[in-house]
Structure 1
């Protein structure tokens, strides 16, 4: 029963996200028809949005592929801390360094959008932006998850507080990186 529900939920999520892609594409087409936004801006928006939503739709597929190959599982690659592990200075500085890397990629992302866009056009800029955004967000999210895992052994309130503080720190780093870009 659990497997059937999982498959149904995955298919339903795919249908919902597919409908969302079509909805946003229709909105962009309406903007194109009303001439509210430049064509190159619409091309950039459409490609970036479609790539992002298609990536989200494909996440369950990627997860199944990774789960099928247990030897190279994501958890072993990320070296997730055990429940008994204590927070150490190297773990804290690793978290901060990974957040700084994500912020640097946010800065690079803004540089690409501002400076490379006129030279390579909307379509290639959107693809490059998507790649940089996914790499940056992946580093930030995996780093955040690894850091928050150190607090799972504590009470729910400590865990929630540290999750909120670390998420705020992660978003602040990324925001600063984007602002400096």
Structure 2
């Protein structure tokens, strides 16, 4: 599946269950996010915010919540004071790369969280990591690849060691 198919599939699924936001992010809002955070959003993430922009703060039927652009935060900002279970504030001590990652979704009310690397310059890849307390694991090379995992409900989304053979 290509990126657009995964985006459209996600939007249709969320719209069908009433979890898609009604307001998409404007080009000005996307530019402002990049300027404020001093990062370049990859093209696939820009298209996501322009087409879907999250699940309106609600969880889908699989219990994922995708954030709107306004809710996306640096890992340190989102989890710096998060001392619940799992204790995400541990990431600030266990993960040296956390300053370049931004949380964009979570699963089962923060049982797991998902973050993408955003850099000041455009890069060839923007890896996505799954987070659980102070534990982190790469699961996708891009937001597009993450959406493909989400679409097929891959075990990688849940910190499984490997995907099951299909």
Into which bin does the TM-score normalised by the smaller protein fall?
under 0.3
More helix by share: 1
Structure with greater Cα Rg: 1
Q: By percentage of residues, which structure has more strand?
A: 2
**Structure 2 length-normalised TM:** 0.25
